[in-house]
Amino acid sequence: MKIYSFPRGGIHFEDSTVPSRDTSVTAFLPGLSVIPMIQHSGKRASPTVSVGDQVREGMLIGQGQGPGSANIHATVPGRVVRQVFWKTPEGHANDALVIRMEGAFEKLGKREESFSWKGLSSQDLRNIISDYGIVEMEMPGRPVSEMISGFKAGAESLALVVRCVFDDPWLAADYTLCRERLGAVAEGSAITAKAAGANRILFAVSHREQNLGAKLLAEAEQWDLPASLVLVGSRYPQRNRRELELVLRVYEKKENTSLGDLLILNPAALAAVHDAVKFQKPILDRYIAVGGSAVKAPQVIKARIGTRLKEIFAECGGFVGTPKCIASGSPLHGRMVTDLDEPVIKTTTAVFALHNACLGGKQSRGCISCGECRFVCPVGLDPEELYKRSLITGKKGGIGRAGECHGCGCCEVVCPSRLPLSTAIIHYARGED
Ligand code: SF4
Ligand code: SF4
């Protein structure tokens, strides 16, 4: 089968400190759960319970407020013992309900009653997806019901793209979920396609995982919708929307077909749609890759939303020595973690602790004009020039092409001077200090 890859730039990113993708381990249930009211892109959800209230597993505890916001649910049964407020390292305000676990679980360990979705209308399905607070399960965490409705407005033809593209080893958790919950991902794709009115499903799968793609396709054949497999490259950032869309448009031409608009979702979000519609279950847990050079026993963990990161690292044997960098996401485009009481949220995909400084965290010298950053930029930008302009002209000289930067971090990874290129360029483009 032909392999479709984006035309220029990118890097092959390997990391020996990621956990094995072979299997997952279920984390201990947390005694205290911290459930933030912002786990998504838009406005905070508004709490529907107060300190002192008893909550059930899966109960609505935060009501989404308008565009971009999503409902929040309790992930364990118990009592709300505190409401806490803090500012994220990026300066955004957030608050959370702290639940002390007590009482019986209604879903965990119980035989789940399954509901048929075949007779439900697209609108019914979208309502369920919205009620259960399903978001895209990675940053920025847009609500899936809104992503779907955005297309319903005018799309003549629509393809649901299932993004099984593993161009970064820190996507290990998504891969493990795909393997362990293959049926849920395939059925969740069929449900989402129906909810969105999509004409077809496209499994975009990294060529190294061709077998996984074939299994997904075989599983999807039982649903009444055309489905096909597109093998894509493994070079980072193939998974980025821009680079993925580029190759799918090439595929479209080559196959002499018309895909129309593309609704791109990852496997974790589709499995969550499956659980919401078939089992009337909100997002209670998440697969997370935990690793890095400072973690004793890296593994893929299935943890309840609200579990604090210190418990997640403890589950992996704790640290070896003192980490210099703790972050979530990926070393390529991660977000620093400054407080280990921070909890797992719907968009947490990986957390890691390193013995060395995080990317861009320790500049060793000035730019030596080696040109490496230009060579790897998939957009064809000149990161050296944009970085220098951001330092010299501040925000007043016009942003030029900086607005095209999608923050993949390739330039920063290859820079021998360890300059914080991508962070500086993005701040520059946004007009931030
Ligand atoms: S890779 Fe770093 S040192 Fe080389 S040209 Fe780009 S900014 Fe300068
Ligand atoms: S300039 Fe932006 S798009 Fe180009 S490599 Fe750097 S982070 Fe990626």
94 token code pair: 């957030």
Q: Decide if 3-15+115-279 and 30-107 have a common fold.
A: no
Coil vs helix vs strand at 430: helix
Among residues 157, 129, 159, which one has the least CA distance to residue 144?
129
pLDDT at 363: 59
CA distance 170 to 351: 9
110: buried, middle or exposed (CB in 10 Å: 19+, 13-18, 0-12)? exposed
pLDDT at 231: 98
**Among 3.40.50.11540, 3.30.479.10, 3.40.47.10, 3.60.70.12, what is the CATH number of 3-15+115-279?**
3.40.50.11540
Among residues 157, 164, 165, which one has the least CA distance to residue 193?
157
Ligand 2 closest atom vs CA 426:
2
CB 270 within 8 A of CB 162: yes
Closest protein CA for atom 3 of ligand 2: 405
b/e 94-105 (16+ beta carbons within 10 angstroms → b): bebbbbebeeee
The pLDDT tens digits for 178-222 are 999 999 999 999 999 999 999 999 999 999 999 999 999 999 999
Lowest mean pLDDT among 39-48, 133-142, 252-261, 384-393: 384-393
CA distance 259 to 240: 18
pLDDT at 106: 77
Ligand nearest to the Cα of 403, by number: 2
**Among 2.40.50, 2.60.120, 1.25.40, 1.10.3470, what is the CATH number of 30-107?**
2.40.50
What is the separation of C-alpha 35 from the centre of its chain, rounded to a whole number of angstroms?
A: 18
pLDDT at 269: 98
Ligand nearest to the Cα of 388, by number: 1
DSSP single-letter state for residue 50? -
Residue 184 one-letter amino acid: A
Coil vs helix vs strand at 128: helix
| 408 Cβ inside 6 Å of ligand 2 | yes
- The sheet carrying 60-63 orders its strands as 46-47, 60-63, 72-73
Closest protein CA for atom 3 of ligand 1: 367
CB 412 within 8 A of CB 359: yes
430 token code pair: 């946004």
pLDDT > 90 fraction of the chain, expressed in percent and rounded: 77
Sign of CA dihedral 167, 172, 176, 181: negative
Closest protein CA for atom 2 of ligand 1: 415
Choose the residue to mutate in 330, 367, 421, 427 for probing ligand 2, maximizing ligand atoms within 8 Å of C-beta.
421
pLDDT at 380: 95
What is the separation of C-alpha 37 from the centre of its chain, rounded to a whole number of angstroms?
A: 18
| 383 Cβ inside 6 Å of ligand 2 | yes
* Cα 381 to ligand 1 centroid, rounded to whole Å: 13
Coil vs helix vs strand at 103: coil
Q: For 281-300, what is the mean pLDDT?
A: 97
Ligand 1 closest atom vs CA 414:
1
Domain coordinates in residue numbering, the chain? 3-15+115-279, 30-107, 372-430
**Whether this model's pTM surpasses 0.85:** yes
CA distance 61 to 52: 13
Higher pLDDT, 268 or 399: 268
Lowest mean pLDDT among 121-135, 173-187, 217-231, 392-406: 392-406
pLDDT at 119: 94
Q: For 403-429, what is the mean pLDDT?
A: 90
pLDDT at 395: 54
| 186 Cβ inside 6 Å of ligand 2 | no
Higher pLDDT, 407 or 360: 407
Sign of CA dihedral 158, 405, 407, 20: positive
Ligand 1 closest atom vs CA 411:
1
DSSP single-letter state for residue 29? P
Higher pLDDT, 66 or 298: 298
146 has pLDDT over 70: yes
Lowest mean pLDDT among 53-57, 156-160, 325-329, 396-400: 396-400
Residues with CB under 6 A from ligand 1: 367-373, 383-384, 387, 414-417, 419, 421
pLDDT-based confidence at residue 357 (cuts at 50, 70, 90)? confident
pLDDT at 176: 98
pLDDT at 236: 97
CA distance 162 to 270: 8
Average pLDDT over the chain, rounded to whole? 92
pLDDT at 153: 56
Closest protein CA for atom 8 of ligand 1: 367
- The sheet carrying 261-265 orders its strands as 3-4, 227-232, 200-206, 158-164, 261-265
